[in-house]
Structure 1
Amino acid sequence: MKLRVRSFRCRRIFHLILVVIIIFVTTSLLNNYLFEEKVLKLPSVIPKPQIIGPPPKIPESDQDSRQIQPPAQIPIETDVLEKATKVLTQTLPISEKLPSIAAFNNGTLISKEEIQGGFPANETVASIRDKVREMMKFAWNGYATYAWGSNELRPVSKTGHLPFVLGNEPLGASLIDSLDTLYIMNLNKEFNTAVEWIETNLDFNKNTQVSVFEFNIRYIGGLLSAYTFSRKPILLTKAAELAQRLLPAFDTPSGIPMSLINLKTGDKQNFVWANGRCSILSEFGTLHMEFKYLSELTGNPVYSEKVDVIRKVLEEVDRPNGLFFNFMDPNTKSWCGKEAGLSALADSFYEYLLKEWIRTDHKDVKALELYNSSLESFLKVGLFHKSPQHNLLYVGKYKYGAISNSMDHLACFVGGMLSLSASDKNDPWFQRGVEITDTCRRSYDSASTGLGPEIFSFTDQSSAIAITQSHKMYLLRPETVESYFYLWRFTKDPKYRAWAWDVVQAIEKYARTNAGYSGLHDVYSTNSTLDDVQQSYFLAETLKYLYLIFSEDTLLPLDRWVFNSEAHPLPIQNKVKLTPG
């Protein structure tokens, strides 16, 4: 009897070993399919952007509409690539129907009014809204005509643009960033043409290094939002495929991802300039919303698990003076330097703490606790500072105990964020949000063009004025109009619509070219030269927020939708009911 038992146990052990060997061999084969393709050497010079796929037909207009002839559609490179794509898709099973998620089985269904409505009764307001819609259509037509499939448009040169953080391959960044804006504005033909391009031409299997952060907020956020609106399966499929290609960035001793990843090889690294090649708080701290929602839609927990690790690290890390610093070593989980703030390198981390609490219908209580404690710490160290002249409230930067006397345009989102988190209009934080937005408005009002500079300073002689030439740029940024949007929704003070209308007119007068919109080098000169870039976020954020300001609150109501850092709306759990796709 004992002999039989031993024999039986031996057979079980043998079978287990055999199963492990089979799994190992299978995994190796899959990895070979996915990652052992021939990797092309990058050229020493970045190639001129090429147009991928046939551009849509653009209606004739008075504008110069010369159209670049696109090359033939690029075929799949090899059989290996085709197999790899199939394997990747197979490892990410996406049901045609949503999994049973209690958080999205409750609430009410999405209505057409809340994603394509909001028509204002007032004729003047309606005409301004129509103007913003025309601006979006004009910007889109320029991109479609001269840069179709590229990442961004150069509206002066009338060609494509490949910014470093989006890689040196044309992957349709502006197209994907525009999807939900097109949908919201009822530009249905343009939306459907964009989806067709995604289905036919979008291939993330490219030997190019990209920003994990930018591809999350622009691509994954844009695809998930557009999928939620339209229920076109290809959009969710592509979001999941891309997320899978970003996962190797998380393979660090701490689980804190690196900033850059090669979409084809999975090679990862941090920026050379990032305080000793450290990871950046605003980047690894701005993944939570999209990764959580993607897991909820696909039923694949891996994305949720990755951001849970990040949250755990941030909950346990030492916080001198209660501060999260801007840089962290992904190997040791230690801070790199002692810089903090609500500007570049940190900003959207705090935004996502608040918004993930909102997105989960207030269930992620820890996120709110971290958000509130961070604001209180900033208050104690003097980050919210009053200017010596005019007593203006601005958001400085903390560096080794000192507070700067300047504010980034990027930090102008803080006014909207504080109003969104405040308990009511009497909350001191709400009042601070109002004051900060007033300060950002002053930076616009002080410029000859009526457009705000990239960085503005506060001295004994002046307030909210850019001093250095490089600070005088206007890059079509959305942060100020983003705060106008929130404060309009919460106060209905007509000044926010008036200020938004001023921005519309200034953009039309100084940033419009005959093929799109461009940034300015000097907001204090009415003859400023142009930077020749139509940023993808101009279509995703700036024009969307302007359109919403002149729409009724029934369009994307804030008790049902929350915007990611690129203004892509995501549904709030238990508020929005999602039907099967």
Structure 2
Amino acid sequence: MARLRTRHIALCAILVLFIFFFLPANDTIAYLPRFSHGSSSRTGTYALARYMNDPTHVPNILAKNSTFDWSSVNIKYPPPLTPALPPPVAHRPRIQHRFKPDRADVAAVQEQRRLEVKRVFQKSWASYRTKAWMKDALKPISGQYVDQFSGWAATLVDSLDTLWMMGMREEFYEAVEAVASIDFGKSTAPTVNMFETCIRYLGGLLAAYDLSGHEVLLKKAIEVGDLLYAGFNTENGMPVDFINFATAKEGSGLRVESQVVSASPGTITLEFSRLSQLTGNNKYYAAVSQVMNLFHQNQNATKLPGMWPMMVSMSQKDVVTGFQFTIGGNADSLYEYLPKAHALLGSTDPSSAKYEAMSRYFMDTARDNLFFRPMIPGNEDILISGNCDVLDDGPRLDPESEHLSCFIGGLYALGGRLFSNDEYLNIGAKLARGCAYAYKSFPTGIMPERYNMALCPGKDHRKDCAWDEAAFAKEASNRPQYKADLPKGFTTAKDPRYILRPEAIESIFILWRITGDVSFRETAWDMFKAVANATDTHYANAAIMDVNAVGGGAKEDYMESFWMAETLKYFYLCFADTDLISLDDFVLNTEAHPFRLSKVPEVLGSHATTTTIDVLGSRAATTTTEVLGSHAATTEVLGSRDTTTTTIDVLGSHAATTEVLGSRDTTTTTTIDVLGSHAATTEILGSRDTTTIDVLGSHAATTEAPGSRDTTTTTTTTTINVIGSHAATTEVPGVPGSRDTTTPPPPPPRSTYWGVTLPRLKYRGVATPLPPPLPPPRSTYWGVTLLQLKY
């Protein structure tokens, strides 16, 4: 039985490798998965991919070049080209909860909720398409449009990945075709905001490419990346806040602003790093590394060590001076990108190892100085994030919070998993519940843009306290903005608007995916009903002026692109299949655009398709096939001079690597891992190491073949252990080719490998010599006789 199963393993391995080697390389959509037709009602990642990339419905869309080529700019102050991009991460800790399937009745409820979120999105998208197509944003009350982000169709680009996730195939490909014609060589404004362009346009294009694999999206992303790269053309290498379009084209250098919010230069890391990963061009990663090195080197030098002031001077390279500290607006995404950069890049490389240390340092500092437990009637165990001013008498907590701060709960939960820190996870849960509490406290069921709450008394503001009406009245009397109709515990609603922001539902979504606590999913539904009801208009959804007024009061003719890019996306993901945008496979930027996490190796679902075949004696022979989001798959064939591997990773399984006949590496392994099984490794013909076959949880199966490094004699052992069986071992003494002092002469040259006779090929018009001598040919491995294949 064990022998029979081993044969099956070998045949499967050969079949997978055969398919890989002979995939067409010149097909314009060869990188897309060849799935049968699926259904948009199935929201799991692979079921959705089958539907969205059904070859019979995938158009071949080509990018139209912009009127200006940003890569051609002759930069006066070129940024350094080091450090090098770190290699893909071999292992990451598990982030997402191990979900079990919902009961049928629960699943039916979640399906209805998912479809309701999709309905709201479809209404907004249809109105944008008919009233504001190719404009930056729709005005949801008047049905007019506005261009506030350079006129490059911000809402369209921002919504690409949401269209894909919701299975809106026709709308997605229509949008991709529109994106292909965007001219990033022209702008409706003389200056371009670096921050907004990076998170919305570059982030949106990269994420849509990571999900769909369409080359047109990567090409347009490169155009935007090169435009933003021109923003680093400064004397000190720091990026500008606003790119002067005309001056940037000239390449003569830009002037860095004297004061900018810290979030602006600190929110480029993910997008530039991912662009370098996808293109293999290190310049983007190297440029942004200089910025983050500045923050890293000065993290301990500020008035609140571990954090940076809200305002910084990039012209002076001063990220130290200042006394106001917050994780809210103006600084938020600087901190958000630290754990996420660690997730994307790992910490095995010196240039990226800093992100873990920076993350831990800021998280400890914020915990001790910004978070507080409010005094509220129910004494719920929640936390709110405030601000901190550091004056002569030391840090002083200001219990003012804002909607933008609500992302921090999800970030702490993510950090808790990334850094194996349960305290971070618990703090994250309390922060997320704090924002949910603020939502349910107001008549509309929505929290205000900015507000204050009463602190629990004492030095430890995170310690619980009982409700004290007199103490609350005293605290409220110190606030000029206090109104008697505010919910108990709230001393102000300084900005009572709700402008369709996503940060609260973002944290609820992350806590749901990390903990599996169904209360977070129920909270998400309550929040969605409140938001959809209060913001609904004839065309779409609009900002409301007062969350403390019944019905939200008047509406503002304003709908940011993040309504469809972030808010509705997070609501949708709360009720969709939990493997859709799994937190173990993606990291989301601050605009909720998911970037696929590079792994060693990764498959089905890749990106760039690069093929180089170099046969019989060339220097480097590599075949790289990436399909819908996977990464390196490299092969060396017959006599190449470099170390080569073939990587096959199917549907989330692990490494599959092969080195074939004659490479210079002394160790060769074949690993086949399909659909989650464990390692199956084989070394063939003259290597130094062992062969391991481990299938479906079985234990070691090892073989040492002729030519190993044994002393005096070669010992060949075969251990086959399949599906939990025990060892079966055979030792054969006296095999030639070990490290004895007398070694048989090498066999004559051969042109047959595994029973396949190769023709004499020519490389660049020159006859290529046959590969070096190898042991006699054989056609049987593990008891399996190979077919005579044509190469």
Q: TM-score, normalised by structure 2?
A: 0.56
Alignment deviations for residues 410-452 of structure 1 (CA, whole Å, 9 cap, x no partner): 1111111111111499812211111111211111111111112
> Does residue 406 in structure 1 map to residue 400 in structure 2?
yes
Q: Work out which of the residue numbers 93, 117, 135 in structure 1 matches 2:120.
A: 135
Aligned partner of 1:320 in structure 2 is 303
**What SS does the corresponding residue of 1:222 show, helix, strand or coil?**
helix
2:386 pairs with 1:396: yes
SS at match of 2:539: coil
**Matched ranges for 1:454-469 at <5 A:** 454-459=449-454, 460-461=472-473, 465=490, 467-468=492-493
1:195 paired residue number? 176
Residue in 1 that maps onto 2:440: 445
Gaps of 5+ in 1: 1-81, 93-100, 108-117, 272-276
Determine the structure 2 residue equivalent to 1:574. 599
- Report the Cα distance in structure 1 between the residues aligned to 2:404 and 2:281, rounded to whole angstroms: 34
Relative to structure 1, the CA distance from residue 141 to residue 180 in structure 2 (aligned partners, 3 Å threshold; closer, same or farther) is same
For residues 434 and 417 of structure 1, the distance between their equivalents in structure 2, rounded to whole angstroms, comes to 10
How many angstroms apart in 1 are the aligned matches of 2:166 and 2:302?
Answer: 44
Matches within 5 A, 1:419-434: 419-423=413-417, 427-434=422-429
CA–CA distance in structure 1, aligned partners of residues 190 and 328 of structure 2: 28
Structure 1 CA distance for aligned equivalents of residues 218 and 424 of structure 2: 37
Alignment of 1:25-36 (within 5 A): none
Match of 2:315 in 1: 331
Which residue of the other structure, out of 495, 503, 507, is the alignment partner of 2:531? 507
Question: For residues 162 and 240 of structure 1, what CA distance do their matches in structure 2 show?
Answer: 22
RMSD: 2.8
Structure 2 CA distance for partners of 1:126 and 1:268, relative to 1, 3 Å: farther
Q: How far has the Cα of 1:458 moved from its partner?
A: 0.7
Residue 573 of structure 1: CA displacement? 1.8
Partner residue of 2:134? 149
Match of 2:204 in 1: 222
Q: Give the distance between the partners of 2:442 and 2:185, measured in 1 at CA.
A: 42
Q: Where does residue 370 of structure 1 map in the other structure? A: 358
Residue 66 of structure 1 corresponds to: none
Task: Give, in angstroms, the shift of residue 404 of structure 1.
Answer: 1.2
1:210 maps to which of 192, 197, 203: 192
Q: How far apart are residue 464 of structure 1 and its match?
A: 6.1
The one-letter amino acid of 1:557's match is: S
Give the secondary structure class of the aligned counterpart of 2:388.
strand
Note if 1:386 corresponds to 2:370: no
Question: In 2 relative to 1, CA 83–523 (structure 1 residues): closer, same or farther, beyond 3 Å?
Answer: closer
* Aligned residue type for 1:519: A
Matches for 1:545-560 after TM superposition, within 5 Å: 545-560=570-585
2:303–2:322 Cα contact (<8 Å) kept: no
Residue 549 of structure 2 aligns to a residue in which SS? coil
Alignment of 1:150-165 (within 5 A): 150-163=135-148
SS at match of 1:467: strand
Segment drifting more, 530-539 vs 178-187? 530-539
User: What is the CA–CA distance in structure 2 between the aligned matches of 1:205 and 1:319, rounded to whole Å?
Assistant: 40
1:57-456 paired onto structure 2 within 5 Å: 85=67, 87-88=69-70, 122-163=107-148, 166-167=149-150, 170-206=151-187, 207-266=189-248, 277-317=258-298, 318-322=301-305, 323-334=307-318, 335-363=320-348, 364-380=352-368, 382-389=369-376, 392-400=382-390, 401-423=395-417, 427-456=422-451
1:402 aligns to what SS in structure 2?
Answer: strand
- The residue aligned with 2:586 is 561
Kept after mapping to 2: 8 A contact 1:119/1:551: no
1:152 is displaced (CA, Å) by: 0.8
Specify the alignment match of 1:495 in structure 2: 519
Distance 1:280 1:419 in 2: 26
Q: Is residue 371–residue 386 contact of structure 2 (8 Å, CA) maintained in 1? A: yes
Partner SS state of residue 398, structure 1? strand
Equivalent residue number for residue 479 of structure 1? 503
Identity of aligned residues (%): 29
CA 1:506–1:234 in structure 2 vs 1: closer, same or farther (change >3 Å)? same
1:260/1:269 contact within 8 Å kept = no
- Contact conserved, 1:246 with 1:263, CA < 8 A, in 2? no
Which whole-Å CA distance do the structure 2 matches of 1:467 and 1:346 have between them?
A: 22
Contact 1:415 1:437 in 2 (8 A): yes
State the distance in 2 between where 1:83 and 1:238 align: 8
Counterpart of 2:677 in structure 1 is: none
Q: Which has the larger radius of gyration?
A: 2
What is the CA–CA distance in structure 2 between the aligned matches of 1:243 and 1:416, rounded to whole Å? 28
State the 1:503 CA deviation. Answer: 1.9
Q: 1:187 to 1:403 in 2, by over 3 A?
A: same
- Counterpart of 2:431, as a letter, is I
Deviation, structure 1 residue 408 = 1.1
CA displacement 1:176-227 (0-9 Å, x = unmatched): 0000000011011111111111112443422532221111111101000111
Amino acid at match of 2:581: L
Deviates more, 1:426-435 or 1:250-259: 250-259
Distance change >3 Å, CA 455–CA 442, structure 1 → 2: same
Residue 120 of structure 1 contacts residue 126 of structure 1 at CA under 8 Å; is this kept in 2?
no
In structure 2, do the counterparts of structure 1 residues 248 and 88 end up closer, same or farther at CA, with 3 Å as the change threshold?
Answer: closer
**What CA distance in whole angstroms lies between the structure 2 residues aligned with 1:468 and 1:185?**
35
Quick check: 2:67–2:184 contact (8 Å CA) kept in 1?
no
Q: Could you tell me how far 1:84 is from its partner in structure 2?
A: 8.2
Compare relative contact order (CA 8 Å, sep 6+) and give the higher one, 1 or 2: 1
SS of 1:567's equivalent in the other structure is coil
Distance 1:306 1:570, change over 3 A: same
Contact 2:127 2:539 in 1 (8 A): yes
1:264 Cα deviation (Å)? 4.0
TM-score (norm: length of structure 1): 0.76
- Per the alignment, in what secondary structure is the counterpart of residue 221 of structure 1? helix
| 1:565 aligned partner, one-letter code | T
1:542 aligned onto 2:525: no
Name the CA shift for 1:531/1:157 in 2 (closer, same or farther; >3 Å): same
Q: Alpha-carbon deviation of 1:129?
A: 0.4
- The alpha-carbon deviation at position 103 of structure 1 amounts to 5.1
User: Are the aligned partners of 2:363 and 2:412 in contact in 1 as well (CA < 8 Å)?
Assistant: no
- In structure 2, the CA distance between the partners of 1:268 and 1:102, relative to structure 1 (3 Å rule), is closer
Matches of 2:375 and 2:256, distance apart in 1: 39
Q: CA deviation at 1:360?
A: 1.9
Whole-angstrom CA distance in 2 between matches of 1:269 and 1:159: 36
1:524 is aligned to 548
Residue 385 of structure 1 deviates from its aligned partner by 1.7
Q: C-alpha distance in 1, partners of 2:233/2:290?
A: 11
Q: 1:140 to 1:119 in 2, by over 3 A?
A: farther
1:215-250 per-residue CA deviation (whole Å, 9 max, x = no partner) reads 111110100011122222221122111222223332
The one-character-per-residue Cα deviations of 1:331-365 (angstroms, maximum 9, x if unpaired) are 22123422112111111111111011111245432
Are residues 384 and 558 of structure 1, via their aligned partners in 2, closer, same or farther at CA, if it must alter by over 3 Å? same
SS of the equivalent of 2:180 reads helix
Q: How many residues align?
A: 472
Q: Report deviation, 1:106.
A: 7.9
DSSP-derived class of the 1:558 partner: coil
Distance between the aligned counterparts of 2:160 and 2:65, measured in 1?
29
Give the AA of the match of 2:374: S
